[in-house]
């Protein structure tokens, strides 16, 4: 093989190599792992009165542009918590075996981070929340409960902190849960959990 031929062949080979690398890079670029975990800390505001029982109907999180209806969720057949249906405009879901928002205890609301072919889920940017951000829940009886974020945690699913999420507390609190972290074949390795406490309520 002559010199120019070698050059041409080497150029083609290099280009092919770059093509292969480029394809994988594009695939991975979306899985940037952000572990934004300010340490959980108790919230100062504690003097807000607990509300009566009334199921949540809408959820607003202005900091990340969430404004969604809230459905009710129970348990799946395997004993895990149900999640909202995979749909184009997915909604958040309140776990009905937890207190309603504003009652004393941890009220649990879940939403998808992504919904497969439909793209982003309602809680796509949940991990961007910061301490002090507002979460507004409107209840069926017309009351609006406003919560303030106390901490955001990203935890491995294998080490899901059930006690911290579902355990008893001495004031009205809220948990927002979605998935996050690295992706595997069809899911995520981590959960993003937002802890919030009731800051005000308007009838």
Partner 1 sequence: MRRTVLSAMALASTAVLASTVPAFADGASPTPTARRSATAAPAPATTAPTRAPSATPAPTTASSEPSAVPTRAPASRQVSVVPSGAPNTGVVPVSKQSGAGGGLIGGGAAAVFVVGGAAVFVVRRRRATGA
- Binding to partner 1, residues 5-44 (CB under 8 A): 5, 7-9, 11-13, 15-20, 22-24, 26-27, 30
User: Quick one: CA torsion of 154, 156, 162, 168, rounded to 10 degrees?
Assistant: -20
Question: Which residue, 113 or 136, is less far from partner 1 as judged by CB?
Answer: 113
β-pair partners for 93? 71, 110
> Which of these ranges, 32-40, 55-63, 127-135, 177-185, lies near partner 1 under the rule CB under 8 A?
177-185
Beta bridge partners of 137: 59, 145
Comparison of 82 and 144: residue with beta carbon closer to partner 1: 82
Q: Which is nearer to partner 1, 113 or 139 (CB)?
A: 113
Residue 109: C-alpha distances to residues 98, 100, 117, 133, 142 (Å): 9, 10, 23, 16, 19
* Among the listed residues 151, 154, 178, 199, the single contact to partner 1 using CB under 8 A: 178
- Among 56, 59, 142, which Cα is nearest to 100's? 56
Nearer to partner 1, 74 or 132 (CB): 74
Residue 178, token pair as written in the block: 């979605």
The reply on whether position 127 binds partner 1 by CB under 8 A is: no
| Interaction residues for partner 1, span 146-175 (CB under 8 A) | 157-158, 160, 162, 166-169
Distance CA 166, CA 126 (A): 19
CB of 156 to partner 1, least distance (A): 9
């Amino acid at each position: 093989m002559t010199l120019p031929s070698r050059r041409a062949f080497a150029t083609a080979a290099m280009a092919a190599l770059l093509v292969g690398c480029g394809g994988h890079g594009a695939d991975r670029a979306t899985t940037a792992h952000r572990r934004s975990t300010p340490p959980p800390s108790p919230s100062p505001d504690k003097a807000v009165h607990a509300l009566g029982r009334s199921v949540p109907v809408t959820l607003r999180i202005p900091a990340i542009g969430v404004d969604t209806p809230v459905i009710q969720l129970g348990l799946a057949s395997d004993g895990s918590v149900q999640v909202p249906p995979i749909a184009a405009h997915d909604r958040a879901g309140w776990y009905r075996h937890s207190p309603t928002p504003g009652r004393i205890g941890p009220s649990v609301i879940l939403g998808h981070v992504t919904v497969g072919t439909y793209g982003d889920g309602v809680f796509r940017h949940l991990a961007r929340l910061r301490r002090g951000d507002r979460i507004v829940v409107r209840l069926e009886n017309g009351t609006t409960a406003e919560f303030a974020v106390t901490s955001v945690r990203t935890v491995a699913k294998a080490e899901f902190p059930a006690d911290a999420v579902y355990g008893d507390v001495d004031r009205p609190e809220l948990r927002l849960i979605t998935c996050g972290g690295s992706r595997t074949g069809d899911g995520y390795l981590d959960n993003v959990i937002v802890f919030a406490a009731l800051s005000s309520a308007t009838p």
